[in-house]
A and B are shown apart, each in its own frame.
Chain A
Amino acid sequence: ETGVTQTPRHLVMGMTNKKSLKCEQHLGHNAMYWYKQSAKKPLELMFVYNFKEQTENNSVPSRFSPECPNSSHLFLHLHTLQPEDSALYLCASSQDTGGVTEAFFGQGTRLTVV
């Protein structure tokens, strides 16, 4: 139990579908992150939220749309994805965005785009 939960754990979607990934943290942290992990590649930071405000968008295509309604919840809305978007999407949280404290990860959503 990491204190960060993600749903769904697995998702298969067509290129014309719209779906959302959900992340919830129970750690009282102020910062939340979306990462993408493709096979044999490092984790790629996608978005950073600090106190509900987006502080970083790492040149992510607009077909990925994040939403952070409060410090405990983070969504990633997906639409018109491409097969190369298939990956493990990880949510993480940390006390702050200064990177001094460690980040805790959810179990991830394994996304397959067909």
Chain B
Amino acid sequence: RKEVEQDPGPFNVPEGATVAFNCTYSNSASQSFFWYRQDCRKEPKLLMSVYSSGNEDGRFTAQLNRASQYISLLIRDSKLSDSATYLCVVNINPDSWGKLQFGAGTQVVVTP
């Protein structure tokens, strides 16, 4: 089983619609979680951290489900500019130096 697993997509979303996708992680001791956004041929950029209670940033909502070991990202009122690959990032080993483990990404394509 991969340490961090994502549905690669693509998720084709009409402009204005809502899209949601999950990311599963294997290490139950993981403590920190992030969603990054990566545009084509560009570097990943932090979209939002994911907190235990869930958090919202404008049209974006992130949730953490520790029991089932997944995090989710929901995008409301999708914009064309939301088209990107969304990377799930997990700290899989907080007891040591720790390293951020990246999923392969979920591609979202917002269409007019």
Among A48, A100, A107, the residue within 8 A (CB) of B31 is A100
Complex contact B43–A48 (CB within 8 A): no
Distance between A50 CB and nearest chain B CB, rounded to angstroms: 7
Q: Mark B3-34, 1 if CB is under 8 A from A, else 0.
A: 01000100000000000000000000001101
Taking CB atoms and an 8 Å cut-off, the chain A residues in 32-49 that contact chain B are 40-43, 45, 48
Number of A-B residue pairs, CB cutoff 8 Å, is 62
Complex contact B91–A102 (CB within 8 A): no
Q: Mark A48-89, 1 if CB is under 8 A from B, else 0.
A: 101000011000000000000000000000000000000010
Complex contact B94–A99 (CB within 8 A): yes
Task: Identify which of B56-64, B66-74, B101-109 touches chain A.
Answer: B101-109
Say if the beta carbon of B55 comes within 8 Å of chain A.
no
Distance between B111 CB and nearest chain A CB, rounded to angstroms: 22
Given A97-B98, A100-B31, are A43 and B4 neighbors across the interface (CB < 8 Å)? no
Complex contact A2–B91 (CB within 8 A): no
Interface size on A, residues (CB 8 A): 25
Given A104-B46, A105-B44, are A42 and B103 neighbors across the interface (CB < 8 Å)? yes
CB closest chain-B residue, reference A103: B100
Main secondary structure of the interface of A (DSSP, over half): loop
- Complex interface: chain B residues within 8 A of A48 (CB): 97, 99
- Complex interface: chain A residues within 8 A of B8 (CB): 40
Given A100-B31, A100-B91, A102-B34, are A107 and B99 neighbors across the interface (CB < 8 Å)? no
CB closest chain-B residue, reference A43: B102
Given A45-B99, A48-B99, A56-B99, are A98 and B46 neighbors across the interface (CB < 8 Å)? no
- A residues in contact (CB < 8 Å) with B: 2, 40-43, 45, 48, 50, 55-56, 88, 90, 94, 97-100, 102-108, 110
8 A-B pairs closest in CB distance: A99-B91, A99-B98, A105-B43, A43-B102, A42-B104, A97-B97, A98-B98, A42-B102
Instruction: Known A-B contacts: A2-B43, A98-B98. Give 12 more (CB < 8 A).
Output: A43-B87, A43-B102, A48-B97, A50-B97, A94-B100, A98-B94, A102-B34, A104-B46, A105-B43, A106-B43, A107-B42, A110-B41
